[in-house]
Amino acid sequence: MSSFTIGCDPELVLRKNGNFVCAYDYYKANSSFGTDGCESISEIRGMYSENVIDLTAKIRIVLEYGHQKHPELEFISGQFANDFALGGHIHFSVSPEPKIISALDTVLYSLSNCIDDKQQRLKRERTGYGKKSAYRKKYYGFEYRTPGSFLLSPATTLVTFTLAKLAVLGVIEDNIDFVELKERQHSKTFISNMKHLLHTIPDDCKEGLKSIDILLGKTLDWNQNILPNWGLAA
């Protein structure tokens, strides 16, 4: 089975008592929990792994670090908050072949159709961010830039990583055409059936696949403080 690492640098809006605050007033730029390019919002970085469960656990550690430094702050994920577009860029240590980008578009945009706030997504896309096939080549492989910030909960994070990994593996290992596979299926049906559509499923992806139906059965509030979902605040 092909091995590659997955990393990320998802962004968060910070609030205090429900009101927006600038990240640069609280966090440094060069930190695992720091500011992003515009300094008004925060970004977590420096994490990567071949194992999606391990990567999700690393994210919790960084969130805990950020929370401990400033426990008075609330962390907000999603596609768009307080007039800021929020990204959930995912990094892959493979070459950005067209079939891989197409697979990620098909799989992760289908997930977005199921769990994301559509109005937030539309606002983000109108800023020029978050459109399909958005990626940048990097020295390690590429950064896929279409997803919003998926950090709402461990489940949304693990499912996102799981489907991202399986999309890449489906192309590399099994030569799957995900566009053809999805055809006219509703996004929810397609995502629910992923476990039956794939041949190569690593052990670390099985937990995420089990979480999909539970996640798809919920109405998610992307305007909430994510910390309680991660067990980090009351």
- Per residue in 27-44, pLDDT (tens digit) is 988 789 999 777 899 999
**Residue percentage of the chain with pLDDT more than 90:** 91
Assess contact for 140 and 93: CB atoms under 8 A: yes
> Using one digit for the tens of pLDDT, what is the confidence trace for 119-139?
999 999 999 999 999 999 999
Instruction: Output the CA angle 68-120-44, nearest 5 degrees.
Output: 30
DSSP state of 193: T
> Using one digit for the tens of pLDDT, what is the confidence trace for 199-223?
899 999 999 999 999 999 999 999 9
Give the torsion sign (CA, 217, 48, 146, 20).
positive
Token pair belonging to 66: 């950020």
> Using one digit for the tens of pLDDT, what is the confidence trace for 129-179?
999 999 999 999 999 999 999 999 999 999 999 999 999 999 999 999 999
**pLDDT for residue 37:** 77
Assess contact for 35 and 23: CB atoms under 8 A: yes
- The CA distance from 228 to 6, in Å, is 25
Assess contact for 23 and 36: CB atoms under 8 A: yes
* pTM of the predicted structure, to 2 decimals: 0.97
